[in-house]
Structure 1
Amino acid sequence: MGFAEEHEKWLNRHKRRRTGERLDRLERGHGHGEKLFAERVWWPLFGDFKHLHPEYEVSDWRGRPYFVDYVWKPGQVKFAIEIKGYGPHVQNTDRTRYRQELNRETYLQIAGYRVLAVPYDDLESSPELTISLCKTLFFPCLLQKSGDGLSKYTKLEREILRLAACSDGIIRPVDLVHGLAADPKTIKRHITQLCEKGRLKPVLSSSGSRIRKYEYIHNMLDNDLW
């Protein structure tokens, strides 16, 4: 499935787990900027929403509840991600509120979170910059996770991903058979496995009746797959 379907499933899953103010905050707080980050930065990097929590409740230094736009907890390391709009965060005339916001970010770091501030304007005009910065920040943490990285894929699967990435993101099974000199049944089996892992997506023909090619789903670890 693509971004829209996965994003809706992920958001509904979190809504079902919440009640009261936590649910209300998720419905009110997950707005345009947060969705833009999910679509233009997070999805291209990861292709899923594992370990990502929207409108995550934490306590500030006074013990009062505070909701972070996103918290990502892939393991021992915790990231607090905030989408910063120019108006609310720079032109804010409420100086007390502005000081509290800065103090909250400092306290988050004291509480063990690595804080990432994402400019809203970059999400609209140059998401590639944010993707590059996030990749540099997140990559060392991903390499430490068991089950991620090279061990997750067989040698043939890595070759399939490499060819798919070099073919403008679209690959046909027949191309893989010829390019890898492999048996068609073997290629079909590995394509199925990569679809289950979320790395390939079937593309229906114009008639909508057959699958003749597959879309490559990028992952930030792919630079180390070959």
Structure 2
Amino acid sequence: MEFELAHEAFLKKHVEARSGERKGRLERGHREAEKLFCREVWRPLRGQFDNLHPEFEVLDWRGRSFFCDFAYLTAGVQLMIEIKGYGPHVRDMDRQSYCYELNRETFLTAMGYRVISFAYDDVAHRPELCVSLLRMVLSYFQGDGTPQHLQDAVEREALRLAYRIARPLRPIDVEQHLHVGHRTAVKTLQSLCSKSLLSPVAGPNSKHVVRYELRQLAKNGLWL
């Protein structure tokens, strides 16, 4: 019920601020998939809907309007978010539509937006994966765009290092890559473990942690 009230207030605010086709598009376009994203991905990650704009209008390179499912806009972030179902975006798409889809995303990038897309199936059935990926995207930004649990730049760089070297991290890896002391490296890795981004690994016949590996979703075999 708490989500329903918050979501209703979120939509009402944007509907009342619009008129004409922009208002009609929001009333028609914000449906089950978009609401599911709000409930299962955005609110668990951000806790509120500040700076999130549903059915956001943009002019393309021809001067024609099109609408992105969501835009997250702050002083330091310009993020476009699309929820794509397999049917309309893959199975039922002709060559011309496919070309336009790619050109549109490239155009948005040229205009300074970062564009990310989530499959509807992931939003519906694996929202925790979407939350983790979106958290990583937002971690690149400073200020309002940086989530609470990844504010420290050292943590972000350590996590990126773990993905890049594709093996469990050792404290010395973090020390050498980020030029920090042993205590800072261990503290950073332990903090990432507390946020469920890394898992500690003990040495052979030892209770002492010697490595830290990327956390894996056991039920689907995907790395977070």
Shared fold by TM > 0.5? yes
Q: Which residue of 1 aligns with 2:3?
A: 3
1:22-37 mapped onto 2 (5 Å cutoff): 22-37=22-37
1:52-71 mapped onto 2 (5 Å cutoff): 52-71=52-71
Q: In 1, distance between residues paired with 2:148 and 2:31?
A: 32
| Secondary structure of the structure 2 residue equivalent to 1:69 | strand
Q: In 2, distance between residues paired with 1:22 and 1:89?
A: 22
State whether residues 79 and 114 of structure 2, in contact with CA within 8 Å, keep that contact through their aligned partners in structure 1: yes
Q: Which residue of 2 aligns with 1:138?
A: 138
Q: In 1, distance between residues paired with 2:147 and 2:128?
A: 24
State whether residues 56 and 71 of structure 2, in contact with CA within 8 Å, keep that contact through their aligned partners in structure 1: yes
1:120-159 mapped onto 2 (5 Å cutoff): 120-141=120-141, 143-145=142-144, 149=148
1:73-92 mapped onto 2 (5 Å cutoff): 73-92=73-92
Question: Per-residue displacement from partner, 1:84-121 (whole Å, max 9, x unpaired)?
Answer: 10001111243212211111011000000000101100
Q: Which amino acid aligns with 1:45?
A: L
TM-score, length of structure 1 as denominator length:
0.63
| Secondary structure of the structure 2 residue equivalent to 1:57 | strand
State whether residues 82 and 118 of structure 2, in contact with CA within 8 Å, keep that contact through their aligned partners in structure 1: yes
State whether residues 70 and 82 of structure 2, in contact with CA within 8 Å, keep that contact through their aligned partners in structure 1: yes
1:1-226 mapped onto 2 (5 Å cutoff): 2-141=2-141, 143-145=142-144, 149=148
TM-score, length of structure 2 as denominator length:
0.63
Q: In 1, distance between residues paired with 2:148 and 2:86?
A: 37
Q: Which residue of 1 aligns with 2:166?
A: none
Percent of aligned pairs with the same residue? 48
Q: In 2, distance between residues paired with 1:99 and 1:117?
A: 16
State whether residues 41 and 127 of structure 2, in contact with CA within 8 Å, keep that contact through their aligned partners in structure 1: yes
Q: In 2, distance between residues paired with 1:127 and 1:146?
A: 20
Q: Tell which has more relative contact order, 1 or 2 (C-alpha 8 A, sep 6+).
A: 1
Q: CA RMSD in A?
A: 2.2
Question: Per-residue displacement from partner, 1:40-91 (whole Å, max 9, x unpaired)?
Answer: 0000001100000000000111111010000001222200000010001111
How far the C-alpha of 1:146 sits from its partner, in A, is 9.7
Would you say how many aligned residue pairs link Structure 1 and Structure 2?
151
Quickly say closer, same or farther: Cα 1:146–1:115, change in 2 above 3 A: closer
Question: Per-residue displacement from partner, 1:105-143 (whole Å, max 9, x unpaired)?
Answer: 1100000000010110001111110000001111232x4
Q: In 2, distance between residues paired with 1:107 and 1:99?
A: 12
Structure 1: which 5+ runs fail to align? 151-221
Q: Which moved more, 1:79-88 or 1:132-141?
A: 132-141
Q: Which amino acid aligns with 1:144?
A: G
State whether residues 25 and 55 of structure 2, in contact with CA within 8 Å, keep that contact through their aligned partners in structure 1: yes
Q: In 2, distance between residues paired with 1:83 and 1:36?
A: 10
Q: Which amino acid aligns with 2:63?
A: G
| Secondary structure of the structure 1 residue equivalent to 2:139 | helix
Q: In 2, distance between residues paired with 1:146 and 1:42?
A: 13
Q: In 2, distance between residues paired with 1:77 and 1:102?
A: 22
